[in-house]
Amino acid sequence: MTPVRVAFPVSILLLSLSIPAAGQTVEEARAMVMAPGVAQVPSPQDPVIVVHPELSDEQLGDLYMVRKQFPEAAGVFKKLSDQNPHNPVYLNKLGIALHQQEALSIALKYYERAVKVDPKYADAENNVGTIWYQRKKYDKAVKAYQKAITMRDDMAVLYSNLGYAYFGERKYEEAISSFRRALDLDPQIFEHNGSRSGSILQDRSVGDRGRFYFMLAKSYAQAGDVEKCLHYLRKAKDEGFKDFADVKKDPAFGAALKDPSIQEILTPKPVEPAQQL
């Protein structure tokens, strides 16, 4: 399974005690207060994450997620969700911890429970869509992402994910439209992980990478970002995409066609005559 992406606030990473290492209890970790001015250097095998003495259970679970200790994170959020069965955030984060362990069916159950508790919780509904996307049930993924957008229409990641699902269905114009909306909301959406606070997932795996990069180039051309358009046209070409013939007639590329570098990509190289013996 392709790992799904999940991001956490920088503040989570800048607290002041060490998260439990392998074999270390939470209490032992919380007792390891760093002396002022003394830096701890983590080893490559066992990286240390710095946390706060008054670490809450939710923060601890988030830190386990940052460290990719998903079974431990699942244990924390299972406890929290059992204690707070009407808290959609805990249910959703438990779903993510299980999702990252490839337990898709049970993760889906917790996402759906989170949405049932809070019918306007777009993060969890998005994550439902990500389950279907990973299972290549693109029609169901599209419906879930569309539903999430009805809950929150100001989140670029939702439109980005919808575009990927349309791409999976080979509905390329719909995909372009979704990507374009994502770029309107966040011009850097494809340059960084668009996840929010460890509560929303993305799966950016695609099959036809050449066509996918071409579509991103078209989206950036429509957004007026010639530099990014050029970048993704090059990536499309590197991936073997060859259907550049109609680009010069496509109004979506508009001003981008004035760039000499883009003209160079679109102009086929002359075939060199065979050398005579």
Which tokens is 260 given? Answer: 């000499």
Measure the CA angle with vertex 157, ends 143 and 234; round to 5°.
110
Considering just the CA atoms, what is the radius of gyration of the chain in Å?
A: 23
Residue pair 50/13 in contact (Cβ under 8 Å)? The answer is: yes
CATH superfamily of domain region 10-206: Tetratricopeptide repeat domain (1.25.40.10)
Domain borders along the chain are 10-206
Residue pair 202/99 in contact (Cβ under 8 Å)? The answer is: no
CA distance 43 to 40: 10
- Phi, psi dihedral angles at 17 (to 5 degrees): -130, 165
CA distance 153 to 247: 31
List per-residue pLDDT tens for the chain, 277 residues long.
555 666 544 344 444 234 454 444 545 444 433 333 333 344 555 555 555 557 899 999 999 999 999 999 999 999 999 999 999 999 999 999 999 999 999 999 999 999 999 999 999 999 999 999 999 999 999 999 999 999 999 999 999 999 999 999 999 999 999 999 999 999 888 877 544 446 788 777 777 888 888 988 988 988 889 998 999 999 998 988 888 887 888 888 888 888 888 888 888 766 566 555 5
SS3 (DSSP) at 50:
strand
Name the pTM for this structure: 0.74
Measure the CA angle with vertex 65, ends 59 and 66; round to 5°.
90
- State the virtual CA torsion across 203, 107, 73, 57 in degrees, nearest 10: 110
The residue among 157, 256, 168 whose CA lies nearest residue 212 is: 168
